[in-house]
Structure 1
Amino acid sequence: MNRPTVYFNKNFSVTSAQIRAMREVGQFETLASHSDPSNVMLHAADHQLTEPRGLLGDAYAEWLLATCRQHRPAVFIVGKEAAAVAPRRADFERLGVRVVVAASRAVLRELDHKDAFLRGWDSSILPIPAWTTFHDLATFDAAVEQLQAHPDWVPGQTRLCLKPARGIYASGFRVLTEGRDLKSFLQGELYQMSHAEARVMFAQAEQAGERLPTMLLMHTLEGAERSVDCVAWEGTLAAAVVRRKPAGQGGQLIEDRPDLLEAARALAQRYRMSGVFNFQTKDDRQRRPHMLEINARASGGLRYSMAAGINFAQLAAELSLGLLRPDQAPRPTTGLVVAEEKSAWVVREAAPSLLTGAAQP
């Protein structure tokens, strides 16, 4: 008897770990597609497809629909261009394909624009840091003045941080300092910038005619940072793993945090989340967690949470097919310090031109 197939389209590298974990269970066949034939997620799957390069939006959604029409997977766990696939869900499901996409197109766009997300956030779930936006030097200066006048500002203690309103991982994130110091330089600190350096950079951009994207300026919270990896179906949380980086250790701590599990349930319901998603929090000086952002996708650190016993993609597939109810999902093991091990994989033999150093076409 043939096993049902779960299809993963182009996505971040952590997808390979999800595929391997699913293959270990053996309940599903796995199919993966990517535009780079050497990408590790392809070689983690039972079957592979090469995607055409450069397809975006509706054209990419059409290619995905044609791929599902040909290969007939039981479940499609959406990666790239989720916002283009979400409104076409019925087209896929007419083929008998269950689509796992984190939220509706409108919600995906809201979460992708962090200023829109923060503006619409329900602070009864979790508080958020003081924040505002800027888009040039003048509005940057005004934003600094506004946040320094905020009631939560403590002179000499509170710092500001900035980042683009749209972006992934830590791209463009900087904590503003009063100046550079030798210690941070020698330690290779990558995420600090002096207030003066920021002003010079924004001024030079204006002089060069470069347009800043919408930027966020926020109070920097100095407490523990957590990442919460979740899996849900149609607004009901099935499982969540809370992880924190312990001070002075290389791993991450899997915590038992009922308060953050309750927050996960509330936001899953609020945004009607399905599949794997993540949110980030940071504590203030009173150790109260604040919401920073929600990522409508698997996080880059999902492997840490998987070590706590949650097979996220497997759960998402089972939930989508009705093989499992959210209340039947396993509970993670907490109280663990987990570490990530990097591995190398042979993906193919090198082309002769690579061996000779010849130019690539």
Structure 2
Amino acid sequence: MMTRIWFNHWFSTAYNIMGMIKEDNPDSYIIGTNENHRSVLAAKCDEWYQEPALKGDEYADFCLAFCRDHKVDVFMPRREMLAVSRRKADFAALGVKVMADDYETIAMLNRKDLAYQELSRRGISSVPEYRIVTTVSGFAEAYDYLKERYREVCIKFVRDEGGKSYRLIDNSRRGYQALFKKQNTRMTYDAIYEALSEKEEFAPLMVMPNLSGNEVSADCLKTSRGPIILPRIKDSSRIERLCFREDIMAKIREVLDAFPLECPCNIQFKYLDDTLYFLEVNTRMSGGVQLACLAGGVNLPGIAVNKLLGIDREWEIRREERYVTHAEIPVLL
């Protein structure tokens, strides 16, 4: 029986997720929408539409109407996931299964400070030191405090996706040597102070030590057979390493146990020296889930869709340390 699956405004690497779902569920029929009508995802979809530029409840209303009009069985949201999750009961009334966790959980994890507080409350020690500020004087005070204790300090807004607001405070990004540094995520203290000074009070900003070591990105899904956990260690190259070291696995299990997550998620940690710190939980599949699945020999997107449909699929992870990367290929639009 054909299952009609809708992806709304995903990032381009969902091209791989769509392919994996079709591979595991041959009867899947993929519907895609995006603000950009020339998105590469169109090449992987059975139906394709440009979607309107809406936000919040207006966007959720659009999604409900779209599901009804296009007879959607499974909705896999990325855009406006918080607004969609708040209306899960309305989607269920249409017979639509939404691959999103409950609103309360997503709302907490979308606020990095609330997630850190919950982990701290549970005594999980992998939370880095941080300060939350909303005024320029608060920023100055937090920076002075952390700069005395750590080599580097960074900032990011509490509500963020994909690290768009992350900035490393780098006071050496002037002069000739600055030409050899990537500048898009670096700002001087003075430049940040000046930018924040434009607002008497700004959105909550997290000031914390810059976790400058390798990243651990774990693609996870809870199943009746236990959790699928696929941790990738990422450095500055494009080559990633699937690694099942028990100290890493234990930290991932701690976070999975702390939050009632039933849909796919991506848990991120970063090293500072030899200490692995919790960074965030993305309540969706990551842009690199296909790398983890290839190295681990398990089709997490396919299993996740079947779980949502009430189908319990067998799986077994190839628990070997393996290196994986990706090569870009041309796609005609």
> Under a length normalisation based on structure 2, what TM-score does the superposition of the two structures give?
0.87
Equivalent-residue separation in structure 1 for 2:168 and 2:124 (angstroms): 26
Q: Is the 8 A contact 1:128 1:291 kept in 2?
A: yes
Structure 1 residue 233 displacement after superposition: 5.6
Structure 1 residue 306 displacement after superposition: 3.0
Q: 1:244 aligns with which of 208, 219, 233?
A: 233
What's 1:300 paired with?
Answer: 287
Q: Is the 8 A contact 1:7 1:77 kept in 2?
A: yes
What's 2:302 paired with?
Answer: 314
What's 2:35 paired with?
Answer: 35
Structure 1 residue 253 displacement after superposition: 0.9
The amino acid across from 2:142 in the alignment is A
The amino acid across from 1:202 in the alignment is Y
Distance 1:233 1:98, change over 3 A: farther
Taking the TM superposition and a 5 Å limit, the aligned residue runs for 1:1-361 are 2-25=1-24, 26-51=26-51, 53-101=52-100, 103-122=101-120, 124-148=123-147, 153=149, 158-180=151-173, 182-183=176-177, 185-188=179-182, 190-193=184-187, 197-203=188-194, 205-206=196-197, 208=198, 212-232=202-222, 238-246=227-235, 249-285=237-273, 287-308=274-295, 309-324=297-312, 328-347=314-333
RMSD: 2.7
Secondary structure of 1:217 counterpart: strand
Q: Is the 8 A contact 1:242 1:255 kept in 2?
A: yes
Distance 1:228 1:163, change over 3 A: same
Structure 1 residue 291 displacement after superposition: 0.3
Structure 1 residue 252 displacement after superposition: 0.8
Equivalent-residue separation in structure 2 for 1:41 and 1:89 (angstroms): 25
Count of residues in correspondence between the two structures? 329
Structure 1 residue 178 displacement after superposition: 4.9
Equivalent-residue separation in structure 2 for 1:334 and 1:105 (angstroms): 36
Structure 1 residue 246 displacement after superposition: 4.5
The amino acid across from 1:114 in the alignment is K
Secondary structure of 1:12 counterpart: coil
Equivalent-residue separation in structure 2 for 1:169 and 1:15 (angstroms): 15
> Under a length normalisation based on structure 1, what TM-score does the superposition of the two structures give?
0.81
Q: Is the 8 A contact 1:133 1:217 kept in 2?
A: yes
Q: Deviations over 1:258-296 (max 9, x none)?
A: 3333443443343211222112111232x2311011111
Distance 1:233 1:78, change over 3 A: farther
Equivalent-residue separation in structure 2 for 1:190 and 1:80 (angstroms): 24
Q: Is the 8 A contact 1:229 1:298 kept in 2?
A: yes
| Structure 2 residues without counterparts, runs of 5 or longer | none
Equivalent-residue separation in structure 2 for 1:205 and 1:224 (angstroms): 29
The amino acid across from 2:35 in the alignment is S
Q: Is the 8 A contact 1:282 1:290 kept in 2?
A: yes
Task: Name the stretch that deviates more: 289-298 or 180-189.
Answer: 180-189
Equivalent-residue separation in structure 1 for 2:199 and 2:272 (angstroms): 38
Aligned-pair identity in percent equals 23
Secondary structure of 1:121 counterpart: helix
The amino acid across from 1:117 in the alignment is A
Equivalent-residue separation in structure 2 for 1:283 and 1:79 (angstroms): 28
Distance 1:126 1:14, change over 3 A: farther
Equivalent-residue separation in structure 2 for 1:6 and 1:204 (angstroms): 43
Equivalent-residue separation in structure 2 for 1:83 and 1:188 (angstroms): 33
Q: Deviations over 1:64-116 (max 9, x none)?
A: 22222233333222222221222322222233322210x22122222112222
Secondary structure of 2:264 counterpart: strand
Q: Is the 8 A contact 1:164 1:214 kept in 2?
A: yes
Equivalent-residue separation in structure 2 for 1:59 and 1:188 (angstroms): 38
Equivalent-residue separation in structure 2 for 1:115 and 1:174 (angstroms): 17
Structure 1 residue 333 displacement after superposition: 4.9
Structure 1 residue 200 displacement after superposition: 4.2
Structure 1 residue 3 displacement after superposition: 2.2
Q: Is the 8 A contact 2:119 2:255 kept in 1?
A: no
Equivalent-residue separation in structure 1 for 2:255 and 2:73 (angstroms): 28
Q: Is the 8 A contact 2:136 2:196 kept in 1?
A: no
Distance 1:182 1:119, change over 3 A: farther
Secondary structure of 2:127 counterpart: coil
What's 1:358 paired with?
Answer: none
| Structure 1 residues without counterparts, runs of 5 or longer | 348-361
Q: Is the 8 A contact 2:135 2:200 kept in 1?
A: no
